[in-house]
Amino acid sequence: MTVPLPGTVWPTIYFPAIGGALCRGVDVHMVVSNPHSKPGGVKAASYGNGWTCVDVAGMLVKAAMKSNPQVSVEEMSQIVSSHLHITYIRSTSTCRDWPDGQHAGNHSKVIVVDEIAHYIGPQNLYMVNLCEWGLIFDDEVQTAQFMDHYWNPMWNAVLPC
């Protein structure tokens, strides 16, 4: 059983926007770190905060239902099965562990909007007292290159949770 790290909180401020996008038929793809992954043997940090793909999906659905009360449970089930895609990052296309047995983790955060703009950086979606800077690229050509060289190969290498 996976237990989230003590003191970690959900980034609930962002969930209504993601849930609203789902209800509008937007495909949402997420690749999350494996629960409790410690890339490179890092001792002090644990990526993923212990949350599973099911945990993340459940919180998104809860927020979507709360901010879109006109959507029935049956409709939400159909929306989620059609438009919400969440998986763990993999070290290879068939394995979520590195050869040393550690779960694969990823510190970067990526957001792609309508395939015309993207953000990449380390900024977490929850409150944390760190000064982390990312970059926003508001350029369709740069975003297409980013997707071709980073996002699409990563997404094609992952397996559903």
Q: Which residues contact 118 (CB under 8 A, 6 or more apart)?
A: 110, 111, 112, 136, 137, 142, 143, 146, 147
pLDDT in tens, 51-94: 788 888 888 888 889 888 999 999 999 999 999 988 887 766 56
pLDDT recorded at residue 19: 86
| pLDDT at 139 (0 to 100) | 94
Is 85 in contact with 97 (CB distance < 8 Å)? no
All structural domains of the chain, each given as residue ranges with its CATH number in brackets, are 15-157 (3.30.870.10)
pLDDT at 6: 61
> Does pTM surpass 0.85?
no
